[in-house]
């Protein structure tokens, strides 16, 4: 028993390991073991092992494991407050570190393919001349937000408001939905619009059903004439005269201005969806990530 107490006393007196503290702080800031590993240039098992060793050293749990990421305990919050400034000052004196080098790595941006192509890429083009590198992924909002929580992305343009504590988001833009067709269809809308060929990006007609419910206050039960999983392809089909569809106005504003499309209905209360710019809660904002985020928010004022 005396030997055990002696071992415990020596453990308590031993200084905390700087590498373990550095790893702890990266996890705390990133909100995810995977994201912290990427920032530090370490494998996830190494990060997990260092964090476990620190928890054993302190005799306290530092993070609660969540389905996506981790949440700091009160012990972790107190420890982060104590070590963040000294570790940051030490890193500045020591010179470029793995974390500093990560600031110049590509910014991983994700979002809907159409919004990325029509809005985000033109907006971010000037940053490339300033040394920013981008790696862009498109997909569905739920999948991309899961990737953000897991540390695969730095920023996500989301068509839905993220839920949970692991992600923070700010409103980016409001997109208005419009019912459109080629001019040839404008004179053929005397009957129910349901009878016209419907063009959709998914078999369950999500945007069309929402428009019918919001504007006409009834369910849309007509099956799609054409299903193509890209709103830009839906736009092309409608311009070519294949049928009618509901599209975000930003996506078809050029075709409307040029007369290649017409709006079939101008309701007093058009359906609107708010898009969000999301990132991990507590993540350390790297310089180029901050540049991309700021430019997207600045440009979105004019979208």
pLDDT in tens, 9-19: 444 456 778 88
- When pLDDT is averaged across residues 129-141 and rounded to a whole number, the result is 92
Choice among 33-42, 85-94, 227-236 with the minimum mean pLDDT: 85-94
Neighbours of 86 (CB within 10 A): 11
Q: What is the DSSP string of 151-213?
A: TS-SEEEESS---STTEEEEEEEEEEEEEEE-GGGGGG-SS-GGGSPBEESSTT-HHHHHHII
Average pLDDT over residues 273-296: 86
Max avg pLDDT among 103-112, 137-146, 189-198, 281-290? 137-146
Domains along the sequence of the chain with CATH: 2-102 (1.10.10.10), 107-172+274-300 (3.40.190.10), 175-271 (3.40.190.10)
Most confident of 5-14, 45-54, 84-93, 144-153: 45-54
Q: What's the confidence (pLDDT) of residue 189?
A: 64
Q: In the block, which residue shows the tokens 């369910």? A: 219
- pTM of the shown model: 0.67
pLDDT of residue 102: 46
Is there a contact between 159 and 210 (Cβ–Cβ < 8 Å)?
Answer: no
């Amino acid at each position: 028993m005396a030997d055990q107490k002696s071992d415990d006393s020596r453990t308590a007196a031993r200084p905390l390991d700087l590498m373990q503290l550095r790893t702890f702080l990266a996890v705390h800031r990133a909100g995810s073991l995977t994201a912290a590993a990427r920032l530090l240039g370490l494998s996830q098992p190494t990060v997990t092992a260092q964090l476990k060793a620190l928890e054993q050293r302190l005799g306290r749990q530092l993070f609660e494991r969540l389905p996506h990421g981790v949440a700091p305990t009160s012990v972790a919050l107190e420890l982060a407050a104590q070590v963040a400034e000294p570790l940051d000052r030490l890193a500045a004196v020591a010179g470029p570190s793995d974390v500093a080098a990560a600031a110049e790595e590509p910014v991983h941006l994700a979002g809907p393919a159409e919004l990325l192509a029509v809005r985000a890429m033109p907006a971010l083009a000037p940053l490339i001349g300033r040394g920013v590198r981008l790696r862009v992924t498109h997909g569905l909002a739920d999948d991309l937000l899961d990737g953000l929580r897991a540390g695969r992305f730095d920023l996500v343009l989301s068509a839905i408001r993220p839920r949970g504590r692991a992600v923070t988001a700010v409103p980016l833009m409001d997109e208005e939905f419009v019912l459109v067709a080629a001019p040839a269809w404008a004179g053929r809308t005397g009957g129910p619009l349901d009878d016209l060929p419907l063009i959709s990006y998914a078999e369950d007609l999500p945007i069309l059903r929402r428009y019918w419910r919001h504007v006409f206050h009834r369910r849309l039960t007509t099956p799609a004439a054409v299903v193509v999983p890209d709103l830009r392809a839906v736009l092309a089909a409608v311009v070519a005269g294949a049928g009618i569809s509901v599209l975000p106005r930003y996506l078809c504003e050029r075709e409307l201005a040029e007369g290649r499309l017409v709006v079939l209905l101008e309701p007093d209360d058009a359906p609107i969806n708010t898009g969000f710019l999301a990132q991990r809660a507590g993540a350390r904002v790297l310089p180029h990530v901050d540049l991309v985020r700021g430019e997207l928010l600045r440009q979105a004022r004019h979208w």
